Amino acid sequence: MPTRALAGTVRRATFATTLATCLCGCTPLSSGFLHPAGPVASAQRDLFFWIVGVSMVVVLPVLILTPWLLWRYRYGQQEATYRPHWELSLPFEILSWGVPVLVVIGLGALTWTRTHQLDPYRPLADSRSSLEVQVIALDWKWLFIYPEQGVATVNELVIPSGRSVHLSLTSGTVMQSMMIPRLAGQIYAMAGMRTQQYLQADVAGEFTGRNTQFNGIGFQQQSFITRSLGPEAFEQWLDTTHQANATLDCASYLHLSQSPSQVPPSVYRSVQPGLFEWVMHAFHGSSPTACDSPTPGKSNE
């Protein structure tokens, strides 16, 4: 190949590599826990890096020494020492077994302590002023109720930045799993049960949340937007929501739970008191306290 053509090929390859590297920020990694926007996701990222770093103590020597040993003791190598009766090297045995054992012990202690620290039921530092949000998973949408503010949203979770948020989750249908990667890990939502999660957004912005539970056709499209607003902007949003036309009573909830999977984000200016508890307890056969209908939603099966 002529020198000029070779140089052109090298330039094109370098440009393509640089472009691909720059576009890496446009991948889903930018919306995952490796790009955290809150204290919970930051702690999860740090734990991940610690686990990877400690594991490299075992992995890297294997990756480096295996090719070297194959080359060093290859067939026809005259410089290597031939020891057909070699049986034991105590330093090597201590190194090959002791280091992995120490790594396993270290990883076990690290994951045990950090897992308890990252318990989704564990309140954050400022949990006394946490915003209460009740989450009801439906086919294939998310309903968010703000009991203290008396409003609700569909497929849009709006929270104030810099403030702890306490989520109470249940399902009006099959089991689902909610996850907002940049804010917190996944948490299950199950019919007739209440699960909890604490999270917080340190910055204003929009973050994607979704259902990560494979539970039927449509789950892959069950996503929502989490909007983190400043304190003043959040209060303005509440004022605007209180002026909306729609109200969330028992009839509108039943209509929502049985509506098609694709529904745009919407807001409700008022909410039927006790709706979340009614949805949860109705699956136990107990007498509903908020509505007259004994069945809060349809089955997905």
Q: What are phi and psi of 87, to 5 degrees?
A: -125, -40
**Beta-strand (E) ranges in the chain?**
131-138, 141-146, 151-154, 156-160, 165-171, 176-179, 187-189, 195-199, 205-211, 223-229, 266-268
pLDDT at 95: 87
Positive or negative CA dihedral for 62, 63, 65, 70? positive
Q: What are phi and psi of 168, to 5 degrees?
A: -110, 125
Residues 132, 146: contact at Cβ < 8 Å?
A: yes
* Longest distance between any two alpha carbons in the chain, whole Å: 89
Q: What are phi and psi of 111, to 5 degrees?
A: -70, -35
pLDDT at 136: 98
Residues 269, 244: contact at Cβ < 8 Å?
A: yes
223 has which bridge partners? 210
**For residues 181 and 41, what is the distance between their CA atoms, to the nearest angstrom?**
7
pLDDT digits 0-9 by tens, 78-99? 776 777 788 888 988 898 899 9
pLDDT at 187: 97
Q: At what angle do helices 39-72 and 90-117 cross, to 10 degrees?
A: 160
pLDDT at 282: 86
Q: How far is CA 290 from CA 206, 273, 274, 281, in A?
A: 33, 7, 6, 11
**For residues 155 and 275, what is the distance between their CA atoms, to the nearest angstrom?**
18
Residue 271 DSSP label: B
| DSSP helix/strand/coil, 159 | strand
- What single-letter amino acid sits at 9? T
Residues 158, 200: contact at Cβ < 8 Å?
A: no
Residue 5 burial class via C-beta count within 10 angstroms: exposed 0-12, middle 13-18, buried 19 and up: exposed
pLDDT at 126: 65
pLDDT at 24: 47
Q: What are phi and psi of 208, to 5 degrees?
A: -90, 135
pLDDT digits 0-9 by tens, 232-254? 999 999 999 999 999 999 999 99
pLDDT at 28: 55
- What single-letter amino acid sits at 131? L
Q: Which residues of the chain have pLDDT under 50?
A: 1, 3, 6-7, 10, 13, 16, 19-26, 294-295, 297-301
User: Can you give the length of the chain in residues?
Assistant: 301
Q: How far is CA 13 from CA 7, 23, 26, in A?
A: 10, 15, 20
